[in-house]
Amino acid sequence: MARHQRRSRGADSGGYWYHQPRGQPHPAVHDTRFHERLLATLARATGTGLP
């Protein structure tokens, strides 16, 4: 079994992988205000908002 397949799924959430090693997500991932501003900007640019 490959090394990455031995981990439990629960221990793998909240990160990302780049060529197998686990990396830390960008701080904006946890920034709710950034998400809201991004979605508002995209809605204005496309004319399509999310429900």
Domain range for 31: 15-46
Q: Is position 4 within any domain? A: no
In the block, tokens 């990302």 appear at 16
Q: Is position 5 within any domain? A: no
Q: Is position 36 within any domain? A: yes
Q: Is position 40 within any domain? A: yes
Q: Is position 7 within any domain? A: no
Classify strands 16-17 and 22-23 as parallel, antiparallel or unpaired.
antiparallel
Tell me phi and psi for residue 17, to 5 degrees.
Answer: -125, 140
Q: Is position 8 within any domain? A: no
Q: Is position 9 within any domain? A: no
Q: Is position 22 within any domain? A: yes
> For the segment 20-31, what is each residue's pLDDT rounded down to a tens digit?
777 788 899 999
Number of domains in the chain: 1
> For the segment 9-21, what is each residue's pLDDT rounded down to a tens digit?
545 666 766 677 7
- Residue 22 or 48, more confident: 48
CA gap 24, 16 in Å, rounded = 7
CA gap 12, 43 in Å, rounded = 32
